[in-house]
């Protein structure tokens, strides 16, 4: 009996390995492919959405825009055409959450520096303070890669509308028509200008999730 098992030991091991491979292949084929959700204003807390778009349940996209970056160059939606990008709202004189958010953006920039399909976009919510010169100084201090990451300033109403009506990433302040409180949210935008995720820009674990979701989105697109 022992001689019988010894004789077919190699064959048994071969069958075991083959069976394991077949089971793995079938599992990979049948495993549901992870797809990121597409967000609309109706999916987000109403305090982050302008009343004019709160009813929108689908087909929401980022509006056209014209802003200036840290080099005084015009940045528009065409600057991000056919790109995946991460957007946020900040201001250079912020001493609370902004430095942490910026450091995490720097981390994302470094981890994706060779990936030309993914860009970054940071909007100043105090454009009257954050001039082109101010943004340039800030960019140099933080090590911003101009080919990867735009820090933008411009018309305050346009930035306000982008935050509230497009990116869904800022709260209203009742005492002024064009004041807002930006959130810590990083917003993941796909090549069709649709929102695919929100992430706490102050949370290292959320940043790791964002990087993982970018991989998922790249496979999808």
**Pick from 138, 200, 135: nearest CA to 169:** 200
The interaxial angle of helices 98-111 and 132-142, nearest 10 deg, is 60
**Pick from 100, 97, 88, 108: nearest CA to 168:** 88
> Across-strand partners of 150?
121
Q: Is 123 annotated as a binding residue?
A: no
Q: 46-57 in b/e burial notation, b at 16+ Cβ within 10 A?
A: eebbbeebeeee
- Record the tokens describing residue 102, joined without a space: 């910026």
Instruction: Give the Cα separation of 27 and 204 in Å (integer).
Output: 32
Q: Is 98 annotated as a binding residue?
A: yes
First-to-last CA distance in the chain? 58
Q: 11-37 in b/e burial notation, b at 16+ Cβ within 10 A?
A: eeeeeeeeeeeeeeeeeeeeeeeeebe
Q: Is 55 annotated as a binding residue?
A: no
Instruction: Give the Cα separation of 196 and 210 in Å (integer).
Output: 10
Extract the annotated binding site for Cu cation. Answer: 94, 98, 182
- For the annotated binding site, the residues are 94, 98, 182
């Amino acid at each position: 009996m022992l001689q019988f098992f010894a004789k077919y030991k190699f064959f048994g091991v071969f069958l075991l390995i083959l069976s394991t491979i077949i089971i793995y292949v079938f599992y990979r084929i049948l495993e549901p492919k992870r797809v990121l959700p597409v967000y609309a204003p109706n999916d987000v807390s109403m305090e982050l959405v302008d009343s004019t778009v709160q009813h929108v349940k689908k087909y929401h996209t980022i509006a056209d825009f014209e802003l200036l970056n840290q080099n005084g160059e015009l940045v528009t939606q065409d600057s991000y055409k056919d790109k995946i990008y991460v957007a946020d709202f900040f201001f250079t004189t912020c001493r609370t959450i902004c430095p942490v958010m910026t450091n995490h953006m720097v981390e994302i920039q470094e981890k994706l520096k060779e990936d030309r399909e993914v860009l970054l976009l940071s909007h100043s919510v105090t454009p009257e303070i954050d001039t082109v010169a101010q943004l340039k100084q800030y960019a140099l201090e933080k090590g911003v890669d101009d080919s990867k990451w735009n820090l933008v300033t411009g018309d305050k109403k346009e930035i306000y509308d982008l935050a509230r009506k497009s990116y869904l990433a800022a709260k209203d302040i009742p005492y002024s028509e064009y004041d807002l409180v930006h959130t810590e949210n990083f917003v993941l935008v796909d090549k069709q200008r649709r929102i695919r995720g929100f992430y706490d820009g102050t949370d290292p674990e959320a940043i790791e999730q964002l990087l993982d979701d970018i991989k998922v989105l790249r496979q999808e697109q």
